[in-house]
Structure formats: structure tokens, C-alpha cells
Amino acid sequence: MKFGVITFPGSNCDEDMIYVLKEIMNQEVVSLWHKDTDIQNVDVVVVPGGFSYGDALRSGAIARFSPIMEQVIEHCNNGGYAIGVCNGFQILCESGLLPGALLHNTSHKFICKNVFIAPQNTDTAITANLTKGKGYKIPIAHGEGRYFASEETIKELNANDQVLFRYCDEDGNINSENNPNGSVENIAGVTNKQRTVFGMMPHPERAADDELGNTDGRLFFESMIKEIEGNLV
């Protein structure tokens, strides 16, 4: 399967993502520049974390207008797969490919630590091989990670089972004490109605290498690769 990882000015997790996909998950990976107008027929577009354009205006607001995003939007509108992590999630929301927005953390501080997130369904590629309700340890690193959407949108997300992950404790219990940034309903990740575009604030690529002492994130990639490969056959 072929992945394309986009680099914007200010991206800082692109090489991490390329390393995990290529060296650990043994996938074909191409690097895409934000000024490119060809996504090289990739199966999955990856919008990585970082601080695109220095988070000017607001996170993802400028990157959304990079030339490559026209092709990303077309790819997704035609049923293609995409995943955005951290700043990538913000960019996908700004692009209208995912509902909601990411606001400043309620603490108004940058937060960098391990958290636990619980899958809320098993009917998407990224969650299909995970255990619903189990706490997976995945790092976060963001200042604008508070997921927000209108009350109507939240109702729709819940009704359509579009919430991918919620912040929780080690045992999978979802409560305010384990909400690191004030996200509405502890939401850590969502998908589109077609279940082809995934966005999440935590960084699974930072929990995929044995050398780091935590490989929970590798399970997310394994699930996504297995399920998408099956759908592409």
C-alpha cells in the first residue's frame, strides 16, 4: 500500500511518520511537499503533526490553502483515505474534510505527555482491530487540541458513530479528570460519515517503536493497513 506524507513549512512529525510507515510497518511511502499539485496516486494521504506556518492566525488555517490541499480534498471527496494527526487533524478540520475545530487548551498551556484514549467503535479502518473501550497509551503534544463542535454536530457525530477516540484513564474510564485539554465529551479523534478520513490529536507514530518502550500506537497502524488493504483488493 502506498502512503503519501505531506510536509508543510513548520511540520515536525513528517519524518517520524515516514520512519514508522516505511521502516516499522514496511509500507511504500512518498514524501509530498505542500506546493505539489500531484499526490502521486497514493492510497492514503497522511497529514502529520507540527506547527504549519507557525500556527499563524490559528492552527491549520493557512496550510489549508496550500496547493496540495486541492488534490487532498479531491482525493477524499472521491472516497480516498486520509489521516491527520495533531496539526494534521487541525488542517483536515480547517479544510472541511472533518467536522469541528481545535481550540486552545483550557489551561492555555502546551501539553506534552502520555495519555490514554479509548476507541469508541470498531467499524473504521483505524479502529477495526482495536478493542472498544480499552485504554491505549498514546502521547499528546499540543497547545490547541481542545476539540469543539456545535451541539447539533456533536449529536450527529454520536448518532453516526463518528467519534473514533475519547480521552480516558488506563482502564478505559471516560471522565473529566482524564480530559487533558477540555475537549467536548473527551473527544480525541473523529471520522467523516464515509469513514475514510481520520483525525486525532494524540500521536500514534510516537508509540510505535520498541526503542521507545511503548508500542500501543503500532496497533493503530496495523489496523488501518490491514483494513484498507482489504478494501483496495
Q: Write out the catalytic residue numbers.
A: 86, 203, 205
Under 8 Å between Cβ of 80 and 92: no
Task: Give the Cα separation of 19 and 217 in Å (integer).
Answer: 14
Count Cβ atoms below 10 Å from residue 78 Cβ, excluding itself: 8
By CB atoms closer than 10 A (0-12, 13-18, 19+), residue 163 is buried
Residues recorded for the chain: 233
CA 52 – CA 35 distance, rounded (Å): 13
Q: Which of 165, 90, 84 is nearest to 130 (CA)?
A: 165
